[in-house]
Amino acid sequence: MSTIEQSPAKHVGRSLRRKEDPRLITGRATFVDDISLHGMLHASIVRSPEAHARIVSIDVSAALAHPGISAVYTGEDMADLLAPLPMAWAPPDVEMKAPERWPLARGKVSHVGDAVAMVVGADKYAVVDAAQKVNVEYEPLPVVVDVEEALKDEVLVHEALGTNKTHEWSMGGGDVEQAIAEADIVIERRIVNHRTAGAAMEPRGVIAEYRAGQLTVWSSTQVPHLVRLFFAVQMGISEDKVRVIAPEVGGGFGGKLQVCAEETLCAWASKQLSRPVKWIETRSENMAVSHHGRDQVDYVRMAAKADGTITAFHAKIIQDCGAYFGLLTPMIPELGAFVMTGCYRIPNVKTDIVGVLTNKFFTDAIRGAGRPEMTHMLEVTIDQLATELGIDPLEVRRRNFIPADAFPYETPYGITYDSGNYEAALDRALEMLDMDAFRAEQAQLRSQGVLRGVGFSTYTEICGLAPSRAVGPKGFGLGIGLYESALVRVHPTGSVTVFTGASPHGQGHETGFAQIVADRLGTDPSVVEVIHGDTATGPMGLGTYGSRSLAIGGVAAAHAAEKLAQKCKEIVAFNLEAAVEDIEIGDGRFSLAGDPDQGMTLAEVAGCAYIDATAMPEGMELGLEQTLIYDPSNFVFPFGTHICVVDVDGVTGKVDVVRWIAVDDCGPAINPMLIDGQVHGGVAHGIGQALYEQIVYDERGQLITGTFMDYALPTAEEIPSIETDRTITPSPSNSLGVKGIGEAGTIAATPAVVNAVIDALRHEGISYIDMPLTPLRVWQALEEARGRGDGPRASEQGVSLPPQGEGSAGSGPTIPEGDAS
């Protein structure tokens, strides 16, 4: 563990305007689809309309005869690929039944949208026309869509595996069963965390150019280095001959943390045709075959004493993987299990996970990845516990909080929370809310027929992925460690280029990292350029996801800059004939302590290092650049309190979020404006899932929500202004004291919404409703609670909504016999 550094912070901590913005607000940025290469061909992909079928035959002749078509490929043509698409998690001692996923289907299709053929031609309209002419004969097979049905193995998604169950995995500590047996009260709930889309505004896109033995790929990806590594494995091209570039990337949210079939397809086709090949995903494709998130059925049990002390928490998670594994599919719920105790001192905990295949597209990491699901279970169930005990939900939380003086805190399953002060964040949020005023207002509004409710979520999460020894092949079982790299290069004129292995797509690294490096080198962020997303320029990097960029990549840049600063000090000391210890950084230059008139600017130091060797200490290496790999000692654990206030229309069931308070703690701020931005977007993502968004398949595996017409992404009218504040509890895990903030809002948000809606409806006798809390679902719950449960059901309205958590609404606590008082 390192100490928190007290370096001069001239630029760090300021809400500097983003360096990224001028090109983006003037239309001068370059996204993948903005690139056009000489001789470039376009690709369109023929996708299965069947959810499960054997491919009897594929006739490409009519498509090939279409004007302007260069080639049509099927799975059989690509027999020379050396490996199927990757899944990167192989935990020791876990038996994993992993289905193979190939870029084009081989023999059968397993979900709607499965790629069957690829049409390549000179005109982007013509390839779409030609794709319609590929004649595929399918022999339909039985389909299984519901995850609990699939677990019965009556219909198999992949016959060769012999089961739909891919793996089982458990984690915990203490003795849950004994604690439950001894508890005063046990809350049991079935909670459905439904399937959602990442829905970055820029769909995916790829251009591949294979030329003279060199492969260059432009991809809208969060992980260019992983894509390059995989190309080497799958196509047998030496890694030094592969360059992957993530140009401007229009949002990711985990949806571009993937090694994609289409990347392989374009690269392989480019090699066949000796022409660049471009594929740009349509939004309809994006909804069908850019990986989905969430989708698990959770059975939770929470045991407590009568005073609200939680003694055990157990979650059984049935994960709907879809038809295949993506890069990290089976690992997602496990990431949530790492924080199954949340902010609370719960001595007995266990998470049991079972992975299940269904005839749907695969799920994988979407903003929060496992942690929103776990936080939802925990925070919703705590409210249920409080209600059953007749104790204020906040009081239950406070009674169980890990106290601020207990950090570092080791959980019962051996993970060490770095730092926290949960009471402080809750107190600040309540100050902003003014609870007494709220309750008075709530009562007054109720008398006017407006059902207002407030919901809380006090969360912590695990991010800053990750200590490489802990998560790597011999630890948690990831195929690679999750360190990060930085190369800081001071140029002869004193300007600076920072190459980072992080691969941002909207987060603002070019600004934040420049602030960090500028402070350390005594220069201005305006002359620090941050380069990312190009495997040909910087060192090996792991990319941007899991709220890791600042806590790992930012720290790498800081350490590299500090090493360079030390070298600068030695050069300055040599030239001033002073001791190195007496050289300070400040006010834009390196100067002598006590005599600030004596000093050198970074440009002058760089002049020594590159131009005048006689101004360098004897034996010192010329030049001024530093490469550094930073591997963290621990994860980081941001936390906070989110408060949601809703109004529910008691007639229509429509929910409006009218107020949102977010108090987050991610340690000291590098750029407060960027933190607020991450929180705003994260909360909106969570509100989206809680109220509006849902990927729906019908019972035949047809995707019902295939466009933005059917998938309700929230607009500016649905999302309220978000009131943000922060507490500051530094992390001892890294020298900046920082924690990630990219996913916190999404992790915190959904239970706050659900708890608020239940708070508004509890007097109606409603104790729980599964997300998304659409008007239909809330109205149905109201009808049932009011004894009028004979209204039209969702299924009778031409809407194929899965049933809302059966056995959840109204399923009360079970109090062990003899213990009930």
* CA 640/CA 155 separation, integer angstroms: 44
CB of 379 to another protein, least distance (A): 20
Nearer to another protein, 510 or 759 (CB): 510
Note whether 201 binds another protein by CB under 8 A. yes
* CA 160/CA 173 separation, integer angstroms: 36
Size of the site for another protein (CB under 8 A): 58
The SS3 call for residue 630 is strand
Closest among 521, 460, 78 to 265, alpha carbons compared? 78
Distances in whole angstroms, Cα of residue 92 to Cα of each of 98, 555, 583: 15, 30, 51
Asked whether 624 and 568 are in contact (CB, 8 A), the reply is: yes
Encoded tokens for 721 = 């202004």
Note whether 722 binds another protein by CB under 8 A. yes
Nearer to another protein, 124 or 165 (CB): 124
Q: Would you tell me how many other CB atoms lie within 10 Å of the CB of residue 253?
A: 27
Asked whether 442 and 410 are in contact (CB, 8 A), the reply is: no
Q: Given candidates 116, 199, 386, 628, which one binds another protein under the rule CB under 8 A? A: 199
Nearer to another protein, 348 or 547 (CB): 547
The SS3 call for residue 746 is helix
Report which residue type is found at 254. Answer: G
Note whether 717 binds another protein by CB under 8 A. yes
- Please report the DSSP string for 145-175 in residue order: --HHHHTTTSS-SSGGGS-SEEEEEEEEES-
* Binding string, residues 114-153; x marks residues near another protein by CB under 8 A: ---------xxx----------------------------
CB of 378 to another protein, least distance (A): 24
The window from 70-78, 433-441, 631-639, 706-714 that contacts another protein (CB under 8 A) reads 706-714
The SS3 call for residue 217 is strand
Q: Which of residues 732-771 bind another protein (CB under 8 A)?
A: 745
The window from 11-19, 171-179, 291-299, 559-567 that contacts another protein (CB under 8 A) reads 11-19
CB of 744 to another protein, least distance (A): 13
* CA 290/CA 497 separation, integer angstroms: 34
* Binding string, residues 651-690; x marks residues near another protein by CB under 8 A: ----------------------xx-xx--xxxxxx-----
Note whether 692 binds another protein by CB under 8 A. no
Q: Given candidates 86, 103, 121, 203, which one binds another protein under the rule CB under 8 A? A: 203
Note whether 278 binds another protein by CB under 8 A. no
Counting beta carbons within 10 angstroms of the beta carbon of residue 649, is it exposed (0 to 12), middle (13 to 18) or buried (19 or more)? middle
DSSP symbol at 449: T
Q: Would you tell me how many other CB atoms lie within 10 Å of the CB of residue 159?
A: 10
Q: Which of residues 500-519 bind another protein (CB under 8 A)?
A: 505-508
Rounded (5°) CA angle 643-644-647 = 150
The window from 414-422, 499-507, 695-703, 762-770 that contacts another protein (CB under 8 A) reads 499-507
The window from 221-229, 243-251, 263-271, 445-453 that contacts another protein (CB under 8 A) reads 243-251
Region for residue 344 given its phi and psi (left: phi exceeds 0; alpha: psi -120 to 50; beta: otherwise): beta
Q: Which helix (H) or strand (E) holds 8?
A: none
CB of 27 to another protein, least distance (A): 2
Note whether 716 binds another protein by CB under 8 A. yes
Distances in whole angstroms, Cα of residue 767 to Cα of each of 365, 380, 763: 30, 10, 9
Q: Given candidates 238, 447, 715, 821, which one binds another protein under the rule CB under 8 A? A: 715
CB of 65 to another protein, least distance (A): 16
Nearer to another protein, 253 or 324 (CB): 253
Nearer to another protein, 323 or 674 (CB): 674
The window from 81-89, 321-329, 577-585, 711-719 that contacts another protein (CB under 8 A) reads 711-719
Note whether 157 binds another protein by CB under 8 A. no
Nearer to another protein, 199 or 556 (CB): 199
CB of 222 to another protein, least distance (A): 11
Counting beta carbons within 10 angstroms of the beta carbon of residue 814, is it exposed (0 to 12), middle (13 to 18) or buried (19 or more)? middle
Give the position of tokens 């001069």: 8
Rounded (5°) CA angle 661-677-2 = 95
Site for another protein, rule CB under 8 A: 15, 17-18, 20-22, 24-31, 33-34, 36, 123-125, 199-203, 248-251, 253, 282-284, 505-508, 673-674, 676-677, 680-685, 707-709, 713, 715-717, 719, 721-722, 745
